Amino acid sequence: MSSQSDKLAIFMTATDTGVGKTTITAALTLALQQRGQRVGVMKPVETGMDPQRQEHSDTDRLRSLLSPPPPFASICLYAFPQPLAPLACAREAGTTIDVSRIVSCFHDMTRHYSLLFVEGAGGVFTPITPTHTMRDLMVTLNLPALVVGRTSLGSVNHLLLTLEALQGVGIKTCGIALNEPVSHTRTSSRRQQQTSTVELIRELSTVPVFGPVGFQETLQTHWRKGVETLANHPEIQRLASHLIEKLP
């Protein structure tokens, strides 16, 4: 499950965009650090990043959790202001995303950490270049995936399609993390919907399921405090234990 025999690296992917990959990655990073693990993070491509507010970017939030925080450019190789797919962003910017550069940076990062999270952009078929998707990048890096999904209506379909897409090219999935990235009115219908979604995902998927991790309002006002709270969530702690078991 790693690029080197004594290291573990995991690709953080999702059913689609906006499901909370960065939040789950951050919470896991803190939870594993609490257990004495030297954790690193990479977000090779970030889109929709305001260059005037870099400190609010997903990349900067992730790097702030590391001690000492590595240079921004060592975590994120391609940052684009447009909220578009990476391929579209690169075309707008008149550049090309170099997958071999991402691979080289990845191998350099693995030398510094015992566990490295590589966070993708969007879902598994998000295009990076005309010939590479996020799934292709996972294959190239030879990494297992941890899939972040929602608990809302449609999530069973999205998750099973994602798992099938990963299995189709031999990518191992080490877990599913169910997250609630937005607040919902807790009606009886909503509760029934969430309960049935979680139950069906547990029943139909062939990999361990963790969560759901409920919406954390503090994330909107004080991101670091919100992530610290989530790091102690029982399901995040259970997932952290699951990943530690996979360390060489």
Residues 6+ apart with CB under 8 A from 90: 78, 80, 96, 97, 129
Q: Chain-wide mean pLDDT for the chain?
A: 92
Give the separation between CA 241 and CA 107, rounded to whole angstroms: 25
User: Tens digits of per-residue pLDDT, 22-59?
Assistant: 999 999 999 999 999 999 999 999 999 887 777 789 99
**In the structure, what pLDDT confidence band is assigned to residue 171 with cuts at 50, 70 and 90?**
very high
Spatial CB neighbours of 232, under 8 Å, sequence gap ≥ 6? 31
CB 58 within 8 A of CB 83: no
Residue found under tokens 């693990």: 37
Catalytic residue, from 7, 43, 172, 246: name it.
Answer: 43
- Structure confidence at residue 63 (pLDDT): 94
Active-site residue, 43 included? yes
**Which residues on neighbouring strands pair with residue 40, listed in sequence order?**
116
Q: What is the pLDDT of residue 4?
A: 47
How far are the Cα atoms of 70, 109, 159, 206, 213 from residue 123, in angstroms, in the given order? 26, 23, 10, 19, 19
Q: Using an 8 Å Cβ cutoff, are 21 and 120 in contact?
A: yes
Residue 116 amino acid letter: L
H/E stretch holding 20 reads: none
Q: How far apart are CA 12 and CA 153, in angstroms?
A: 22
At 89-134, the pLDDT tens digits run 999 999 999 999 999 999 999 999 999 999 999 999 999 999 999 9
For residues 217 and 198, give the distance between their C-alpha atoms in angstroms, rounded to a whole number: 22
Find all residues with CB under 8 Å of 92, minimum gap 6, and list them: 80, 82, 84
Return the SS3 of 29.
helix
